[in-house]
């Protein structure tokens, strides 16, 4: 059996949580492969809204196995909050959730370093979620990190103190007072470590490969999106992990030849939260309308998301990098009521030339060239059959499919699990 991968094709928040939850009944195992509590994956079902940060979005199906892979970074405090929330809803995640020994730990000082670095950057800040993601991955690649498997070792506290000392020396370079925050966070952190210990801490690379060899189906769940990838995103305004499909190989320990379907998920328009270039961003009333109708506020930080039209240049780039085999389009319902809908087909570099090449650096003078589409006004959130969708929406979908040469197999028309149309 091969492993299927679901990942975001834009700047995150494409609706990965919802769709993983919808697809979970068809899989035995759901595994997160990168990112950490910078992610906010929302699920809605039975009049309930849940947001997951570290835990895979298959967790609400109690008979399914959920794995936090080695590529993920974990803040025990946020993990404990998530577990408490799940328990309050009657779940027992200790039964069906396990964690890779090789996943790295976010220390309280990683969070503080993230905040200090962002403050020092001023106007050029990344707009990080302040969860300590960047500093934690820096320690991972710098070979200084602490891993989940270290928790049970006798020298864990020494290792912690050693790394904390290094961080404190780094913090002395910043004008940032942190002592009170550190004392508070540190106590919570060590308390939460005790909870982490109660979970199955495993060599997840062995388990996942065993599952695949035994014909069990596995779905890998990505976080963030391709345009936030550390190598291919709009650097430096990116996250610190590989969000592309290759990240599933390194983040779970599966060979490239074992990748099966690659589900690429995108919104029918575009959003971005945090700093960095966004060619199709709309600063006008249409942008505000998209934010209002799409309830575009960050699931992790609550920040308003920047909104704009769909960007086909970027979408094609993402599809290429990931080898997407099936597309999933979400939030089609949000476009209902717009008289004109636009898709960016190229960028105008200057008065003479346009490009369909996603550039090394997106310059502020780059102007999107749009193709216009007629909108529709019917409410589509109750529609279950693709054929009964408004003709204008089907034309919009046909156009995208023709351009990107990958079929759109799922159209999501609302946040609830049930509002999902399969083709
Ligand atoms: P993720 O990070 O990719 O899991 O996405 P988020 O959960 O951060 O953001 C997606 C938001 O859109 C959440 O509030 C979802 O409940 C919501 N959502 C997902 N799919 C749809 C859809 O088809 N229509 C509408 N209106 N909302 C959706
Ligand atoms: P999900 O999984 C949207 C953005 C932050 C910031 C940049 C770097 O919910 O789609 P970081 O905290 O990773 O150092 O922040 O990346 N970002 C996200 N934006 N969705 C996410 O995750 C994101 N995770 C990080 O806003 O611009
Ligand atoms: Mg999100």
Helix axes 76-88, 179-197, angle to 10 degrees: 60
Nearest in space to 394 (alpha carbons), one of 416, 411, 414? 411
**Average pLDDT in the 358-371 region?**
88
Beta strand spans in 284-386 (E) = 306-308, 310-311, 326-330, 340-348, 354-355, 367-374
347, 283 Cβ separation under 8 angstroms: no
Decide if pLDDT at 350 tops 90.
no
**Segment 241-253, tens digit of pLDDT:** 999 999 999 999 9
pLDDT score, position 300: 84
Q: Rg of the Cα trace of the chain?
A: 21
- 233 Cβ contact list (under 8 Å, min separation 6): 226, 227, 239, 243
**Average pLDDT value over all residues in the chain:** 97
pLDDT score, position 364: 73
**Per-residue confidence at 349, pLDDT binned at 50, 70, 90?**
confident
**Per-residue confidence at 223, pLDDT binned at 50, 70, 90?**
very high
Quote the CA–CA distance of 252 and 264 in Å, as a whole number.
18
Counting ligands in written order, the one closest to the CA of 20 is: 1
Angle (CA) 217-222-223 rounded to 5° is 150
309, 349 Cβ separation under 8 angstroms: no
Decide if pLDDT at 352 tops 90.
no
pLDDT score, position 6: 99
Pairing mode of beta strands 408-412, 326-330? parallel
Quote the CA–CA distance of 109 and 150 in Å, as a whole number.
17
What do you get for the CA distance between the two ends of the chain, in Å? 24
Provide residues with CB under 6 Å of ligand 2.
Answer: 8, 11-13, 35, 38-41, 126-129, 131, 133-134, 223-225, 228, 239-240, 273-274, 299
**Average pLDDT in the 326-350 region?**
96
Is the preceding omega at residue 46 within 30 degrees of 0, hence cis? no
155 tagged catalytic: no
**Per-residue confidence at 34, pLDDT binned at 50, 70, 90?**
very high
Choosing from 13, 75, 139, 311, the catalytic residue is: 13
Percent of the chain scoring above 90 in pLDDT: 96
Decide if pLDDT at 397 tops 80.
yes
For tokens 């190989």, what's the residue? Answer: 249
Read off the DSSP letter of residue 146: -
239, 138 Cβ separation under 8 angstroms: no
* Residue 35 burial (CB count, 10 A): 29
pLDDT score, position 162: 98
pLDDT score, position 301: 86
Decide if pLDDT at 351 tops 80.
no
Decide if pLDDT at 365 tops 80.
no
13 tagged catalytic: yes
**Average pLDDT in the 143-172 region?**
98
**Per-residue confidence at 190, pLDDT binned at 50, 70, 90?**
very high
**Segment 276-318, tens digit of pLDDT:** 999 999 999 999 999 999 999 988 889 999 999 999 999 999 9
**Atom in ligand 1 nearest the alpha carbon of residue 14:** 3
**Per-residue confidence at 206, pLDDT binned at 50, 70, 90?**
very high
The residues whose Cβ lies within 5 A of ligand 3, an ion, are 13, 40, 299
**Segment 96-123, tens digit of pLDDT:** 999 999 999 999 999 999 999 999 999 9
Decide if pLDDT at 263 tops 80.
yes
* Residue 44 burial (CB count, 10 A): 17
CA 300 / ligand 2 centre spacing (Å): 9
pLDDT score, position 422: 98
- 316 Cβ contact list (under 8 Å, min separation 6): 356, 358, 403, 404
């Amino acid at each position: 059996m091969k492993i299927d991968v679901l990942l975001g094709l834009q700047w995150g928040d494409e609706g990965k949580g919802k769709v993983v939850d919808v697809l979970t009944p068809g899989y035995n195992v759901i595994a997160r492969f990168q990112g950490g509590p910078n992610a906010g994956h929302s699920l809605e079902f039975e009049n309930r809204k849940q947001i997951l940060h570290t835990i895979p979005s298959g967790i609400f199906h109690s008979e399914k196995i959920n794995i936090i892979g080695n590529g993920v970074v974990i803040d025990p405090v946020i993990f404990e909050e998530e577990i408490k929330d799940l328990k309050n809803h009657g779940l027992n995640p200790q039964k069906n959730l396990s964690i890779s020994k090789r996943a790295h730990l976010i220390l309280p000082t990683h969070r503080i370093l993230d905040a200090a670095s962002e403050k020092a950057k001023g106007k050029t800040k990344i707009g990080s979620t302040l969860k300590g993601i960047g500093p934690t991955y820096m320690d991972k690649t710098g070979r200084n990190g602490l891993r989940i498997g270290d928790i049970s070792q006798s020298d864990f506290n020494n290792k912690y103190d050693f790394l904390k000392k290094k961080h404190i020396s780094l913090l002395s370079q910043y004008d940032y007072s942190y002592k009170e925050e550190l004392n508070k966070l540190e106590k919570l952190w060590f308390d939460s470590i005790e909870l982490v210990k109660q979970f199955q801490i495993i060599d997840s690379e062995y388990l996942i490969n065993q599952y695949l060899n035994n014909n069990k189906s596995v779905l890998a769940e990505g976080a963030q999106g391709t345009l936030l990838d550390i190598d291919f995103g709009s650097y430096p305004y990116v996250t610190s992990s590989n969000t592309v499909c290759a990240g599933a190989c390194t983040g779970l320990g599966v060979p490239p030849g074992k990748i099966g379907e690659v589900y690429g998920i995108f919104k029918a328009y575009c959003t971005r939260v945090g700093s960095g270039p966004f060619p199709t961003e709309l600063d006008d009333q249409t942008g505000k309308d998209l934010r209002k109708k799409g309830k575009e506020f960050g699931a992790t930080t609550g920040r308003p998301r920047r909104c704009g039209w769909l960007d086909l240049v970027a979408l094609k780039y993402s599809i290429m990098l990931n080898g997407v085999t099936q597309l999933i389009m979400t939030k089609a319902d949000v476009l209902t009521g717009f008289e004109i809908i636009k898709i960016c087909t190229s960028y105008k570099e200057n008065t003479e030339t346009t490009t369909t090449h996603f550039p090394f650096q997106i310059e502020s003078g780059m102007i999107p060239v749009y193709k216009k589409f007629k909108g529709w006004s019917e409410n589509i959130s109750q529609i279950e059959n693709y054929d009964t969708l408004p003709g204008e929406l089907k034309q919009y979908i046909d156009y995208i499919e023709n351009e990107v040469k990958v079929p759109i197999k799922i159209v999501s028309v609302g946040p609830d699990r049930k509002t999902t149309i399969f083709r």
